[in-house]
């Protein structure tokens, strides 16, 4: 009994430190009911997102829907479909094609690119070293947009808009010595790891090399910032 408890504890610790390296999962849709379908599970986290491809012929394909994993049970994933809005072209009509049997489902779409949100340079460097396999979107890119828009309080909507603008689908938040991998579209936590670097001192709203972000109404109502770094992002992610 003691050996079993010890093994479980060691296994849990190893799992917590395991690298998060989600691979693209591609499968053909079989059973589609309305705006949802079921596919075989391949260790995909609930909250993961992706796309649905429709083939017109052997050479021509197009993205017709966005996909989200909403649950998993008995070796199957339940996936819901919604409008794909990353490639908006107002000059062209929207596709009226809905996902159906024979279309291709691709999950973990654009998960190779990630934006790390960390409180300081030390924690940013730790992330870069530990997860060098990712194509890292430097936080300066997001901070620059916030600086231009004079928005010192980044919202979920700001993150999602930047993901679409710069073609990435993963976020990483360093909070209280824990790292959270988050899908940018669903804003669901996909995995959690333990970090060694301290969260103090903290830069606001997060680590970047961009000058302090000031609000457009700062001279009138006073400058604002996110306050407590950890509490701000915990609330954004719905963490306790």
Pairing of β 76-82 and β 61-73: antiparallel
Can you read off the two tokens belonging to residue 149?
A: 């828009």
Burial of 2-22, coded b for 16+ CB within 10 Å and e otherwise, reads eeeeeeeeeeeeeeeeeebeb
The CATH architecture to which 25-107 belongs is: Beta Barrel (2.40)
Site of tokens 């828009």: 149
Element (DSSP H or E) covering residue 61: strand 61-73
- Dump pLDDT digits (tens) for 175-213: 998 999 999 999 999 999 998 877 788 999 999 999 999
Position with higher pLDDT, 94 vs 106: 106
Tens digit of each residue's pLDDT (9 = 90 or more) over 27-43: 999 989 999 999 999 88
Nearest CA to 151 out of 209, 204, 81, 108 is that of 204
Does residue 172 carry a pLDDT above 50? yes
Ranges for all domains in the chain classified under CATH 2.40.30: 25-107
How far apart CA 99 and CA 94 sit, in angstroms, is 14
Token representation of residue 92: 């062209």
Six-digit token pair at 33?
């009911």
Spatial distance between the Cα atoms of 30 and 231, rounded to a whole number of angstroms: 43
Beta bridge partners of 137: none
Count CB neighbours of 182 within 10 A.
Answer: 25
125: tokens are 């460097």
| pLDDT class of 224 with cuts at 50, 70, 90 | confident
Q: Measuring CA to CA, which residue among 208, 201, 199, 232 is closest to residue 147?
A: 208
Q: Which two tokens stand for residue 75?
A: 């070796």
What φ, ψ does residue 59 adopt, rounded to 5°? Answer: -115, -20
């Amino acid at each position: 009994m003691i050996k079993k408890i010890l093994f479980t504890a060691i296994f849990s610790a190893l799992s917590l430190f395991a690298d998060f390296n989600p691979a693209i999962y591609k499968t053909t849709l079989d059973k589609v009911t309305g705006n949802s379908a079921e596919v075989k599970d391949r260790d995909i986290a609930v909250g993961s997102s992706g796309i649905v491809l429709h083939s017109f012929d052997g050479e021509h394909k197009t993205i017709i829907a966005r996909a989200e994993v909403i649950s998993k049970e008995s070796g199957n994933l339940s996936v819901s479909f919604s409008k794909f809005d990353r490639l908006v072209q107002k000059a062209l009509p929207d596709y009226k094609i809905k996902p159906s049997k024979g279309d291709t489902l691709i999950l973990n779409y654009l998960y190779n690119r990630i934006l790390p949100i960390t409180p300081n340079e030390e924690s940013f460097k730790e992330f870069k070293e530990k997860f060098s396999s990712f194509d890292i979107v430097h936080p300066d890119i997001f901070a620059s947009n916030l600086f231009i828009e004079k928005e010192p309080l980044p919202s979920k909507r700001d993150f999602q808009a930047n993901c679409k603008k710069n073609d990435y689908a993963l976020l990483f938040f360093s909070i209280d010595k824990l790292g959270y991998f988050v899908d940018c579209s669903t804003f669901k936590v996909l995995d959690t790891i333990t970090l060694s670097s301290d969260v103090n001192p903290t830069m606001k709203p997060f680590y970047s090399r961009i000058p302090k972000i000031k609000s457009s109404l700062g001279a009138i109502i006073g400058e604002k910032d996110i306050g407590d770094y950890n509490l701000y992002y915990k609330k954004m992610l719905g963490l306790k």
